[in-house]
Structure 1
Amino acid sequence: MTRRIVRTGIQLGVILTVVLFLVLFLDNRYRVLPTSIHNHLPAHHPGFVVTDVTVVTCSSLNPFSRCTKEGEYWHRINKDLYLGKSLVTKAYLVVERKREDDLSTHEEVVHDIKIGRIQPSAMDPLSSDERWESRPTGIWIKKSAKRTDESKIVTGVDVLFGADAVDPRSNWQVQDISLLVDGGQDTPGPRLTVRKGPALKVEKPVPRIRKDGKFKIMQAADLHLSTGLGKCRDALPAGKPCDADPRTLDFIERLIEEEKPDFVVLSGDQVNGDTAPDSQSAIYKYSEIFARHKIPYAGIFGNHDDEGNLDRAQSMAIMDGLPYSMSTAGPEDVEGIGNYVVEILGRGSTSHSALTLYMLDTHSYSPDEHKYRGYDWLKQSQIDWFKSTSQSLKRKHKEYTHIHMDLAFIHIPLPEYRNPDQLQWVGNWTEPPTAPGFNTNFKDALVEEGVLMVSCGHDHVNDYCLPALDQSKNKPALWMCYGGGAGFGGYGGYYGYHRRVRFFDFDMNEARISTWKRLEWGNIEARIDEQIIVDGGKVVVDI
């Protein structure tokens, strides 16, 4: 009898264990999926319309509590509205969407979404429209069976975070009021962003030399944007109120308006991972500015971009689909995410390239801390890709009627930024270069392929340009520059060093490259350390 009771107890224990595992497994299917890009993308597809929206909650303490809604048409946007800050509750937006062909004749679809404590029509004393339906967290939806004007039908709903949330995508609009979720004072409030009408195809821009033969690149290094307003670090002048992201973005926008660049290079650490529990919200902040000003841009990653809730592949999938973005993942057989080429075409209607920008992923931290402390290095597959790509493009580049020029952008500096040849530099050398300890000699590959300039970020309070030698000829053949830190979410500001942005100005008539920096505070109207680094298509050193 005792054995039978024990055997029965064991069987019940096994059954309960299996049930618990299945519940957790099924719930995790909806919660995490860490290797899936789609978890972090909005719940919309071409040809779909939204038929309902609601919020589901569940307990973090109860393994049997599931944040899902039954039904084949319900899809959860996998962003906890509390950003994981609540110890007890999780909440998710779920969207019911159907293909237009699957709708019944009189089936209603969502035409509008508002957020507030009271019915939207009550805010307008002249309105007699009472067709608003209430949903949790202050959501109000208006539904109708009318589908004659597709531009008035909601086809996508997503979640962003923070009072400064913006959406750069065409026909998307962020709601003015955040969802009524009490996530605590330091948690950025969740905001719905809503698309009306069909998904619009995003065309890649075609950057081109201006009619006067000029072209200007703005290098914005180390923006360090957060989810929410962010907190300033080492801001000058000291003691004044400072929200990191608004101040950083105001700085970038001011320089766009004053310098009028033709192209922007983001050289890594756009996102400050440990303060960005929703990296998508941070990515959208800078991309919205460039889209609004209609400036093509391209980005690579730093060591902090993937320390939030998105890895490199997931972040690049978002960046690749945004207006005016030329960012792309690059070849799958090359190590890293974001090894690619941007061609700047010549003036007029020519299809020939005038400038080639090589964008490379310098990864993050050393894979062998015992032997090489610090940061990672460019891999052999990347160097091979760079060489083969450069060789394959050279013949076509000779068809350009002027002198074609090649440039490169990375995040982590090369070991040669430590100046082993003891050459003179221009600008601020304020901290030791945190280049990798292992040298794969990518500098030599750059020189061999005729790249005239490489520029990096990473070390926020360095902004110098340093010549590098062609060892075979013992003469300068490459300029190695720093962008200088631009963002207030990262360290900076000490020793009187202010946030700054580097510019490169190209005169294709003379095959000349000039460069300078602009400051965020202090002497904000001046060009700092202006110098000519290339003339007649050749590296020049006049220091």
Structure 2
Amino acid sequence: MTRRITRTISQLAIAGVCALFFVWFLDSRYRALPHSIHNMMPAHHPGFVITDITVTTCSTVNLLSSCRLDSKGWHRIEKDLYLGKGWVSSAYVHVKRKVEEDLLPEDKVVVDVSVGKLHPSMGAKGEGDEKWEARPAGIWIKRSGKIGESDSDRAVTSADILFGADAVDPREGWEMIGTSLLLDTSGEVHEPRLSIRRGKPAAPAKPTPRINDNGKFKIMQAADLHLSTGTGKCRDAMPVGYNNGKCEADPRTLEFVERLLDEEKPDLVILSGDQVNGETAPDTQSAIFKYADLFIKRKIPFATIFGNHDDEGDSLSREEQMELIESLPYSLSEAGPEEIDGVGNYYIEVLARGSSGHSALTIYMLDTHAYSPDERAFKGYDWLKQSQIDWFKQTAQGLKKAHEGYTHIHMDLSFIHIPLPEYADNSNPRKGELREGVTAPGFNSGFRDALVEEGVVMVSCGHDHANEYCALSRHENELPALWMCYAGGAGFGGYGGYGGYHRRIRFFDIDMNEARIFTYKRVEYGEIEKRIDEQMIVEGGKPAALVYEQ
């Protein structure tokens, strides 16, 4: 009898441990799924209002600890506030939400949020009928039961978590709240920040780029920003010892971009890959928002493609990143057709001046992927696939008839991340510096020839940070066929080196009156007011021969 009781107790104990392990396993699986955040965010559920906010903390070693609340009443924002780097803890923000039309008389709606150690009303002149309520992690909420149609814009309708002391939220109607959440973040450098939206989501502004009334159009190409979650660490910063050796990568990179936006006033910004350094950006959304904020607040259209680093580490996939980028104001980025390889194969039409509906410029953006799918046969990097080349050729040929209505010379340009194999042809005349080996794919899929066949006058890439030249690819009869440019790396989160390389950004100054394109670079340090290596690469709508200075 005693043995039977002992055996029964042991079986119950084992069953209990298994059940606890199963609960812990499920919760651990959810903690390990950062890619689910955009599908789970309250922002994707218009019509909801938030009625409460709280934070749960759980132990990663205690089987009895859980970071989940009742799913019928609470929605968890799927971002671990420790970014998976807490020694023994995870923490999540939960929101309680309800469809506005289903609110009952006794329901209260969150109308204000604050973060801090002190009561938000300290020093304020009264609070009125709505009182601040304390929640974990230094969150304070103010709720009201008096939400009608006339003041429904007061209601907090969505919440999100971003990371880093430099975090920003460029989305229409969103605002960052106070300081970082108050957690035991010993050893954690990424500060979690709460962002909220009031009212209903606004449709993002999507302007159509157009040639200016003077016939000019300027493109800024910023390559390889290599932004992180948080301020990031500088690599190969020049000059050595500048600012007493203190260098935060992302602030310095963004200040550089911001300065040139204000000085050059481009009409369009092309981000040609590796905007995000995936391995140092566990919250990719925060990194994307930092560069997007620069363009959105200046109302400058921008378009992105991906590099080999954007989706490394625990960052979002290419599909998830593009979905986020597409939703931002002034973003012209597109995922492109699902049936062809890659994410981010699309084109941008820049319309002629005035009220014309005709295209003056077509800009083709293509995804060059990341690493070789056949390392044994072709080491290094991936290449443009046949489906992409076919799409490009069919699209270009299909647009030609529509472009015939333009009364001036129409021009086609293209941007990619990884250079084409032809960039490594040292017989091509070039202007600018070749400082490092050309890391083009080992397999040549023929995209250069397709560009030439369809009359594209210029292609520009990133990837090799310290290379920043334009090279002229020629026909068999030695006539100019295609200009192939490098932008040069702009970000301090990526490598520099190679003899003291200064970060730089390339510009394309387009004059549609003469169908000319001038290109030049601006540097972050040194001759910061000077245009470097200015040259004409297109004249009369055709690639121009390189003219060397005497």
TM-score normalised by length of structure 1: 0.95
Secondary structure class of the residue paired with 1:502: strand
- In terms of mean alpha carbon deviation, does 342-351 or 526-535 score higher? 342-351
| Structure 2 residue 86 is matched with structure 1 residue 82 | no
Q: Determine if contact 1:82/1:187 at 8 Å carries over to the other structure.
A: no
Contact 2:58–2:89 (8 Å) recurs in 1: yes
Task: Name 1:399's counterpart in structure 2.
Answer: 405
**Where does residue 534 of structure 2 map in the other structure?**
530
Report which stretch shifted further, 113-122 or 307-316: 307-316
How does 1:49-68 map onto structure 2 within 5 Å? Answer: 49-68=49-68
Unaligned runs of 5+ in 2: none
Contact 2:279 2:315 in 1 (8 A): no
2:357 matched residue in structure 1: 351
Equivalent residue number for residue 425 of structure 1: 430
SS at match of 1:479: strand
User: Do 2:31 and 2:84's aligned partners in 1 also have CA atoms closer than 8 Å?
Assistant: no
Q: 1:376 aligns with which of 377, 382, 388?
A: 382
Q: Which residue of 2 aligns with 1:272?
A: 277
> Contact between 2:157 and 2:198, CA under 8 Å: does it hold in 1?
yes
Residue number in structure 2 paired with 1:478: 482
Q: Report the CA distance between 1:205 and its aligned residue.
A: 1.7
Contact 2:345–2:365 (Cα < 8 Å) also in 1: yes
- Per-residue CA distance 1:16-70 (angstroms, 9 max, x = gap): 5863564245425643446646357455521111111010111111344221111
After superposition, the C-alpha distances for 1:208-227 in whole angstroms (9 at most, x for unaligned) are 11011110000000001111
Residues 426-483 of structure 1: CA distance to partner in whole angstroms, max 9, x if unpaired? Answer: 0010001111111101100110111110000000001000011234x44221000000
More moved, 69-78 vs 384-393: 69-78
Q: Match for residue 410 of structure 1?
A: 416
1:131–1:520 CA distance, 2 compared to 1 (3 A): same
Q: Which residue number corresponds to residue 302 of structure 2?
A: 297
Aligned residue identity for 1:84: G
| In 2: Cα distance, 1:128 partner to 1:12 partner | 56
1:341 to 2:343 alignment: no
Distance 2:539 2:229 in 1: 43
Task: Give the distance between the partners of 2:16 and 2:386, measured in 1 at CA.
Answer: 51
**Which one is further off, 263-272 or 367-376?**
367-376
Task: Tell me the distance in 2 between the aligned counterparts of 1:84 and 1:190.
Answer: 12
Deviations 1:362-417 (A, max 9, x none): 11111111221111111111111111111111111111111111111100100100
**Native 8 Å contact 1:484 1:501 kept in 2:** yes
CA gap of 1:48–1:192, structure 2 versus 1, over 3 A, is same
- Rounded to whole Å, the distance in 2 between the matches of 1:90 and 1:177 is 20
- TM-score, normalization: structure 2? 0.94
> In 2, Cα distance between the equivalents of 1:25 and 1:328?
37
Deviation, structure 1 residue 123? 3.6
3-state SS, counterpart of residue 160 of structure 2: strand
| Equivalent-residue separation in structure 2 for 1:361 and 1:2 (angstroms) | 70
Instruction: Give the residue type in structure 2 aligned to 1:55.
Output: V
Q: Any conservation in 1 of the 2:352–2:358 contact (CA below 8 Å)?
A: yes
Equivalent residue of 1:293, what SS?
coil
Whether the 8 Å CA contact 1:121–1:128 is kept in 2: the answer is no
Q: Does 1:199 find its partner at 2:201?
A: yes
CA 1:160–1:395 in 2, change beyond 3 Å: closer, same or farther?
Answer: same
Question: What's the CA shift string for 1:172-192, capped at 9, x where partnerless?
Answer: 111231000122355221110
- CA shift, 1:151, in A, is 2.2
Superposed counterparts of 1:352-367, under 5 Å: 352-367=358-373
Distance 1:443 1:134 in 2: 61
Counterparts of 1:91-170 in structure 2, within 5 Å, are 91-124=91-124, 131-147=131-147, 148-170=150-172
User: Is the Cα contact below 8 Å between 2:304 and 2:333 reproduced in 1?
Assistant: yes
- The Cα RMSD (Å) is 2.2
Q: Specify the code of the residue in structure 2 equivalent to 1:479.
A: W
Tell me how far 1:105 sits from its aligned partner.
2.5
Please state if 1:248 is matched with 2:248: no
**How far 1:542 sits from its partner (Å)?**
2.6
1:153 Cα offset (Å): 1.3
SS of residue in 2 equivalent to 1:444: helix
Structure 2 Cα separation of the partners of residues 449 and 416 of structure 1: 17
* 265-274 vs 233-242, greater mean Cα deviation: 233-242
- Give 3-state SS (helix, strand or coil) of 1:158's partner: strand
